[in-house]
Amino acid sequence: MPNKNESSVLPNHQCLNCKEALTYIEHARSLYCQKPLCQRAKVQDYLVDNKKRLTAELIIELEEYIQSAPNQKLPKGLGNELDETSPVVALLPANTKQLTNLSQKRQLEFLRHLGLIYKDVEANNPTANRVYLEHLNPPLQDDEAQLLGNACATCMGSCCKHGQTHAFVDYPSLKHLLASQLTDLSEQELLDLYSDYFPKQSYQYSCVFHGEKGCALPRELRSFTCNNFLCDGVLKYRNEVKYANSSLTFAAAVDNDKIMFTSIYNNANFTRVK
Ligand SMILES: [Zn+2]
């Protein structure tokens, strides 16, 4: 049996990042030393490894699907593209909430919020309630909108949870909407307009308009925040697909390091696999 000194400093153990010696016990706890720089390297390496693992898992799953699925299961355009190009991989978040009946209480909370903002606009009082975003970005090109929309369809709206019972409706968004109407809307007309779009079922604790098929509101009724927002996963994907020679995509929606949903798509076809 080794004595205490021998067992606590074994020469082979060193921090994976800075290569400084680690004691036996330190090494047993972590392959990295405690220096902040090395702790950051540890997280970074974990993320890279995790991304590699998820990518490999996704490709195996979808290749298996393609091999086993009768050809007619894949839309025609996709089948041809699969033979000719390798896909871009999109790793996205996942909406894992359950669909439930949208309660009267949550509907009323939204309508109360909408009424408040309506009164702010009437009174020219932009600072009375929270402003989420001042400006609306110009819309994306059709092809890109379709492609990024397919990424969002794979995730099914993880970001929508932040909409709660306000749906990010704020002074700039509502002012813009009201100004774009052909005739002036009364408060009641506005409340009625939005009420028409409450989904029967919405995702639990998510935005009141987050229904089974995504946002139940037409685009012009959505807030600036909702119309502009692209999550980190979609932004990364957008950047990668820009430089790829095809828009063919293997997409995975991931929750807690686990692949929840998958899809195969390009800017013309979308197939949900899981
Ligand atoms: Zn170190």
Long-range contacts at 105-111 (CB < 8 A, ≥ 24 apart): 106/165, 106/202, 106/208, 107/195, 107/198, 107/208, 109/165, 109/208, 110/165, 110/166, 110/167, 110/194, 110/208, 111/191, 111/194, 111/195
pLDDT tens digit sequence for 146-156 = 999 999 999 99
pLDDT tens digit sequence for 203-252 = 999 999 999 999 999 999 999 999 999 999 999 999 999 999 889 999 99
Q: 28 pLDDT band (50/70/90 cuts)? A: confident
**Residue 53 CA, ligand 1 centroid: distance in Å:** 25
**Residue 14 CA, ligand 1 centroid: distance in Å:** 8
**Residue 45 CA, ligand 1 centroid: distance in Å:** 13
**Residue 16 CA, ligand 1 centroid: distance in Å:** 7
pLDDT at residue 85 in the model:
80
Q: What is the arithmetic mean of pLDDT over 160-172?
A: 97
pLDDT at residue 7 in the model:
47
**Residue 5 CA, ligand 1 centroid: distance in Å:** 22
